[in-house]
Structure 1
Amino acid sequence: MSPHRDRRGWLRGAPPPQWVRVLPPALIAGVVAATLLSPDPLDIGFLLGAIPPLAVLSYGPTATALLGLVSVAVLIVPAFRLDRPGNADLLTICFVALLSIFVSFVRSRRDTQLDLEHTVAEAAQRAVVPAVPERVGPVRCAALYRAAQRGTLVGGDFFDVREGPHGVRAVLGDVQGHGLAAVATVALLMGAFREAVLDHPDLEAVAGRLDRRLLLDAAQDRRDELFATAVLLDFSPGAGAVRIVTCGHPPPLLLRDGTAAEIGCTAWPPLGLGLPDTTAHDAITVRLLPGDRLVLASDGVWEARDATGAFYPLPERLGALAAEHAKDLAALADRVWADVLRFCGATTARDDVTMLVLAPEPPRGR
């Protein structure tokens, strides 16, 4: 998974940018320089009243108090030659400084609590959809995840790659809805998938397990409809072949010899709507060659549109993008996402975006 950036913004609890921290000392330096360089006294003492409130944005109570004292000193020291600062000016700056110290104290306590809550929330979300290892058995892996809801790490998309007693299994899907409201459903599906990888010898049964999990959850919560689209993969022990089941989700793309092509799969209904008899519907099997890569993407990529409403042409663009990153799977995922952003421009899709790039390494000679 790509490194997480703090998306809260500095007005929502993230650390302020450097220019905000520089403002108070820069304003003090500007007032001092102006008074020392001017041949006549200047009536700019009122600017010093802005120092403590500006300090509140990025400094704690102690630093805010020091900056307030410096502001008062600049105002009353004769050497700075401010034009007749009166008692009203001095009392105003002192009052503003004291009020700013109090506000800074409250803000610091709030920031500490927000940081703790953010850390706990991040740990919980990482537990739901953990980072994919660079290698799982004979399969190299890379993933990219961009949650649509600002400030969150997990939305309505889910993915995982697990090795169990029956081989390496992978899943990528999209639950109904997005944002934090969908996280509970994502957690259910991820738990069911991890258990199914250990319990079921065939991929069709894994899909059936996920379908039943959603059906039971919808019944318990008395919800009329709860579904998710998904694509599931099952790699052979030597990764010389892969079996694929698609449940209402776009099929994987096979990158081979510089071209990308959709793998034709029998479309099953989305999970949660009742899958057909899994004993009568087999997964499709695809032989793999050295150098093959499989790219799975969520609706946030497939359904991204430009200003004219045209969909992002993932199969057409993927071949050229993959040629630039023949071996670096993570760079390929980042490159595709950057291309999606350029294609969409100001109309960038607001859906969750997920990509999973898998590079099986079958034995030589296959």
Structure 2
Amino acid sequence: MSQARHHRGDHAPMRLPRNRVADGWASLRRHATGQLTSGTRVLPVLVVAVVVLVGLAGGAGTVWLPLLAAAPALAATTNAPRGVLWAGLLAMATGTFLGLGHGVSARELAAVLCALLAVTAASGLAGALRVRRERVLAAVRSVAEAAQHALLHPVPETVGPFQVAVRYSAAAAEARIGGDLYALVPTPHGVRLIVGDVRGKGLPAVGTTALVLGVFREAAYDEPDLLAVVSRIERSLARNLGPDDFVTAVVVGLPRSGELEVVNCGHAPPLVISASGDVAAVEPAYPTPPLGLRSLLDTSPRLQRLHFGVGDQLLLYTDGVTEARDQSRAFYPLVDGLARCVSDEPARTLTALHDELLAHVGGRLHDDAALLLLRKQGADEPVRVLPRSEAAL
């Protein structure tokens, strides 16, 4: 195993307070959105008020009256059809008042009112369609969230002697689910976990994600050998995937105290943070193809064993993290970022790392990204093994 270390001398791991850059941007966006929505709702009234002021100041008859059509049109962007109707009635009443006050002919006034009526009707229809689309989108989001919870089970904060934290972001933000996968299963053979990346992203990758996670949860519980777990996933994918589909993954086992087993199938190398603060990339000794492609290359995965003691941490991640680019197209330096953000609390570490990643890309990731951090804490504690039926769900 070759290791790429990031040395920091004899210093202990740097503990920084939580990075609030991304939170600040998110809060600013929410505030701006709220202000924009509130402002848009009063814009129809402001448009009518402006036209009234111009008319009272001596505006030229029908020249300004067509601007009243902006009131129902703007109302359609944020209001239900009833709000659009009220905006249209206000505009028509104002138009009638100004037209009569300026001696506009009945024919011209009728034309203006007919135009306002037509715009109000069209805007009301647009508002009704917008409300319907919003309801459909809310239902789709609800279904996607349910599917995500069914596939990516919540990971407990503590499993025996290990602290665990997960952060996941889908590129398909409206769907809230993507092609990255992760799972952690306490088994009779120790804690086992997987992090992987399905070819593609968004909803088309959900089926493959479900297949991999289902087979892993069942095999992790049944198979005493970690390589046998990987082989079962490979056989299942070979039967169900297309010729161009594949999954990169890292499968990890913690069979006994002080020992770590890693099987890397074409995935980004995990990072081990020692208790002294060194960051090491667990590069595979022998390159192994992604899951689903083994038959094309006729190679088998290899098992790597490492020491994993008290205070050591293991970070598994997907390429959405390492391939995230800033405005100058520079990749996010994960090793350096992890060294800056590491702490004794995995949840705080991943929060700071995720915030720094979002700040690097300018607020939104363009690929699915998953982070799973595991830390060995204190003395060994018994691992609560889930019943087989529950572990395989």
Task: Give the TM-score of the pair, scaled to structure 1.
Answer: 0.80
For residues 290 and 165 of structure 2, the distance between their equivalents in structure 1, rounded to whole angstroms, comes to 25
Deviations 1:192-224 (A, max 9, x none): 011112211232221112111111213xxxx33
- 2:260 corresponds, among 242, 263, 287, to 242
For residues 188 and 93 of structure 1, the distance between their equivalents in structure 2, rounded to whole angstroms, comes to 56
Aligned to 2:126: 103
Deviations 1:229-260 (A, max 9, x none): 211121246x5432222122232211222331
Displacement, 1:344? 5.5
Is 2:286 aligned against 1:270? no
The one-letter amino acid paired with 1:303 is E
For residues 281 and 91 of structure 2, the distance between their equivalents in structure 1, rounded to whole angstroms, comes to 67
For residues 48 and 24 of structure 1, the distance between their equivalents in structure 2, rounded to whole angstroms, comes to 15
The one-letter amino acid paired with 1:181 is P
Deviations 1:311-344 (A, max 9, x none): 443223321221xxx1442342243344345555
Is 2:70 aligned against 1:50? yes
Q: Which has the higher contact order (CA 8 A, sep 6+)?
A: 2
Count of aligned positions: 343
Aligned to 2:305: 284
For residues 21 and 349 of structure 1, the distance between their equivalents in structure 2, rounded to whole angstroms, comes to 28
Is 2:367 aligned against 1:351? yes
The one-letter amino acid paired with 2:247 is A
Relative to structure 1, the CA distance from residue 186 to residue 199 in structure 2 (aligned partners, 3 Å threshold; closer, same or farther) is: same
The one-letter amino acid paired with 1:258 is G
For residues 208 and 307 of structure 2, the distance between their equivalents in structure 1, rounded to whole angstroms, comes to 30
For residues 116 and 349 of structure 1, the distance between their equivalents in structure 2, rounded to whole angstroms, comes to 24
For residues 223 and 348 of structure 2, the distance between their equivalents in structure 1, rounded to whole angstroms, comes to 34
Is 2:154 aligned against 1:131? yes
Relative to structure 1, the CA distance from residue 90 to residue 248 in structure 2 (aligned partners, 3 Å threshold; closer, same or farther) is: same
Query: Is this contact kept in 2: 1:23–1:54, CA < 8 A?
Result: yes
Aligned to 1:13: none
Deviations 1:19-46 (A, max 9, x none): 2453352342354266358763335322
For residues 301 and 83 of structure 1, the distance between their equivalents in structure 2, rounded to whole angstroms, comes to 68
Relative to structure 1, the CA distance from residue 33 to residue 314 in structure 2 (aligned partners, 3 Å threshold; closer, same or farther) is: closer
Deviations 1:256-290 (A, max 9, x none): 22331123543433222338567xx5441323123
Relative to structure 1, the CA distance from residue 90 to residue 35 in structure 2 (aligned partners, 3 Å threshold; closer, same or farther) is: same
Query: Is this contact kept in 1: 2:43–2:71, CA < 8 A?
Result: no
Query: Is this contact kept in 1: 2:262–2:305, CA < 8 A?
Result: yes
Query: Is this contact kept in 1: 2:52–2:98, CA < 8 A?
Result: no
- 2:335 corresponds, among 310, 315, 321, to 315
Identity across the alignment (%)? 33
CA RMSD of aligned residues (A): 3.5
Query: Is this contact kept in 2: 1:240–1:361, CA < 8 A?
Result: no
Tell me the secondary structure at the aligned position of residue 131 of structure 1.
Answer: coil
1:120-159 equivalences under 5 Å are 120-159=143-182
For residues 103 and 222 of structure 2, the distance between their equivalents in structure 1, rounded to whole angstroms, comes to 83
Relative to structure 1, the CA distance from residue 119 to residue 261 in structure 2 (aligned partners, 3 Å threshold; closer, same or farther) is: same
Task: Give the TM-score of the pair, scaled to structure 2.
Answer: 0.75
Aligned to 1:61: 81
The one-letter amino acid paired with 1:179 is G
Relative to structure 1, the CA distance from residue 168 to residue 56 in structure 2 (aligned partners, 3 Å threshold; closer, same or farther) is: same
Displacement, 1:71? 1.8
The one-letter amino acid paired with 2:156 is P
1:1-366 equivalences under 5 Å are 18-32=35-49, 35-36=52-53, 40-43=57-60, 44-77=64-97, 84=104, 86-218=109-241, 223-236=242-255, 240-256=258-274, 257-267=276-286, 268-274=288-294, 281-290=302-311, 292-305=312-325, 311-322=331-342, 326-343=343-360, 350-363=366-379
Displacement, 1:349? 7.1
For residues 83 and 258 of structure 1, the distance between their equivalents in structure 2, rounded to whole angstroms, comes to 84
Tell me the secondary structure at the aligned position of residue 246 of structure 1.
Answer: strand
Tell me the secondary structure at the aligned position of residue 241 of structure 1.
Answer: strand
Unaligned runs of 5+ in 2: 1-21, 381-393
Relative to structure 1, the CA distance from residue 305 to residue 86 in structure 2 (aligned partners, 3 Å threshold; closer, same or farther) is: closer
Tell me the secondary structure at the aligned position of residue 315 of structure 1.
Answer: helix
Relative to structure 1, the CA distance from residue 156 to residue 37 in structure 2 (aligned partners, 3 Å threshold; closer, same or farther) is: closer
Tell me the secondary structure at the aligned position of residue 144 of structure 2.
Answer: helix
For residues 153 and 109 of structure 1, the distance between their equivalents in structure 2, rounded to whole angstroms, comes to 20
Relative to structure 1, the CA distance from residue 287 to residue 78 in structure 2 (aligned partners, 3 Å threshold; closer, same or farther) is: closer
Deviations 1:41-62 (A, max 9, x none): 3353222211112111111111
Deviations 1:140-180 (A, max 9, x none): 22222222335232222111112123221111011223333
For residues 359 and 244 of structure 1, the distance between their equivalents in structure 2, rounded to whole angstroms, comes to 16
Aligned to 2:388: none
Query: Is this contact kept in 2: 1:242–1:288, CA < 8 A?
Result: no
